[in-house]
Amino acid sequence: MNYKKWLMTFSILLVVAITALVGCSNELKSSVKKTEVVLAGWGGNPEEMRLLKQTIAEFEKKHPEISVKHEVITDQYMDILKTRLIGGNGPDVFYLDALEAPGLIETGIVENLNPYVTEKFDVEDFETPMLKAFQKDGKTYGFPKDYSTLALFYNEKLFKKAGVEVPTTWDELIEVSKVFEKKGIKGLGVSPELARLFYIAESNGGDVVKDNKANFASKEVIDALQPIVDQYQKDKTSVQPSDVGANSGTDMFAQEKVAMVIEGNWMIPFLDQSFPHLEYGTAEVPTVNKKRGTMAFAVGYVMNAESKQKEASWKLIEYLTGKKGMEIWTSKGFALPTRKSVADRLGYINDEKRKALVAGASYATVWQDGPYLPIIMNNFNNQFLSAFLGQSELKEALQKAEEQANKEISIYE
């Protein structure tokens, strides 16, 4: 065999060998079984779902040994989730609203994440109120993926027309609303429910919940809430959505039925997309009794204590609530990042529309207070509305609601 023939034969053999090796390598790769982690949550708008899908895809690139099965529970999320968890077929990782966290953590069904956390994860970077919502007795059971506080949204055109300044105290808000009323404009749009009024109810030093019992019939709470009722009943300078043919605070503000509402971050993308010509601004919620206050609504990622793949589940939580994953998820502003560094990097701290919402994160009251707040909330809302509408006195209504709430709570004790 001459040299040229030998070289050609060698080259062919080499190609065949490399091809075989590549084939074997691919077979080995394909034969490696991935760990599947089931992630459950409720749905969202198409853009939010796209962002979550993108975040999961980036996680799977970083961790090719793990695949994520995303399940969307569209209706009765907590009922279905609890049924599955109790039945032993719950997801590995799932969304948990801060409101529901104390009750579910108490059952022992949520994994303590302390053993998984390393210094690199930078727990100190989280907004403190949102992080505390998923902690109990020094243990962390979840990490908040996002939140929204409440801020004062005001119609710039109506304010300019009325010649008034944006209020910074609740007393100023009441006076500004009276100016609007004289000009035939309702000043404040109100949602008469505990989720929006909780921080105001406690502004006089009272406790809505005490020792896991309803306590909102106390004098301090009644005195704090009376101005809300008086503004609606006596001054007639505030309205609820149904009064003006609207479905929500967002709706009545968008339709310019009111000059102000106290709403959350969800308003901004909606208004910018659906009402692009509406001239509006945001400010921190006016102080009550010289105290800054607002509500925060937070959602966290938690792990099923019965998960069969806890290490992989933690890696998913670590990425989703880590700096990179959170930046992808909150990049379009539909939700606010619970990590301060991410809010800074995305520019939300200085964003004209969002900076008031971000500023409130450090002093916000998270919508959560013990395992029985859902029961307390339902009874409060039913009776407070009757007082708000003038069908009963506030003190009488709240005493009735408190008694009923505590009667229901006693069943579980």
| pLDDT recorded at residue 413 | 79
Contact 189, 241 (CB under 8 A): yes
Q: Do domains 36-148+297-366 and 151-295+369-410 have the same CATH topology?
A: yes
pLDDT at 5 over 60: no
Residue 10 has pLDDT above 80, yes or no: no
Against a cut of 0.85, is the pTM above it?
yes
CA distances from 128 to 123, 134, 361, 362, 399 (A): 10, 11, 8, 7, 33
Q: Is the pLDDT of residue 16 over 70?
A: no
- Please compute the mean of the pLDDT values over residues 67-88 and round it to a whole number: 96
Task: Give the pLDDT band (50/70/90) at residue 17.
Answer: very low
- How far apart, in whole angstroms, are the C-alpha atoms of residue 133 and residue 59? 26
Domain boundaries, the chain: 36-148+297-366, 151-295+369-410
* pLDDT class of 3 with cuts at 50, 70, 90: very low
Q: Given a cut of 90, is residue 64 above it in pLDDT?
A: yes
**For the ranges 15-24, 117-126, 199-208, 308-317, which has the lowest average pLDDT?**
15-24
| Mean pLDDT lowest among 13-17, 44-48, 227-231, 277-281 | 13-17
Q: How far is CA 133 from CA 30, 88, 177, 265, 361, in A?
A: 42, 26, 35, 19, 13
Query: What is the DSSP code string of 44-55?
Result: --HHHHHHHHHH
What b/e string do you get for 88-117 counting C-beta neighbours within 10 Å, with b at 16 or more? eebbbbbbbbbbbbbbbbeeebbbbbeebe
**What sign does the dihedral 360-193-104-209 (CA atoms) show?**
positive
The mean per-residue pLDDT over the stretch 381-409 comes to 97
Residues 165-192, mean pLDDT to the nearest whole number: 97
Topology at the third CATH level for domain 151-295+369-410: D-Maltodextrin-Binding Protein; domain 2 (3.40.190)
pLDDT number for residue 288: 96
> Are the CB atoms for 272 and 334 separated by under 8 Å?
no
Contact 229, 387 (CB under 8 A): yes
Q: Residue 32 — pLDDT band, cuts 50, 70, 90?
A: low
Report residue 179 as tokens: 């100016």
- CA 198, CA 202: separation in Å to the nearest integer? 7
Taking the C-alpha atoms of residue 89 and residue 306, their distance in angstroms, rounded to an integer, is 9
Amino acid identity, position 101: A
> For 263-391, where are the alpha helices, taking DSSP H only?
267-274, 310-320, 323-329, 340-345, 355-359, 373-388
Q: Which residues pair with 152 in a beta bridge?
A: 262, 283
DSSP string, 206-257: --SEETTEE-TTSHHHHHHHHHHHHIIIII--EE-GGGGT-SSHHHHHHTTS
Q: Report whether CATH 3.40.190.10 matches the domain 36-148+297-366.
A: yes
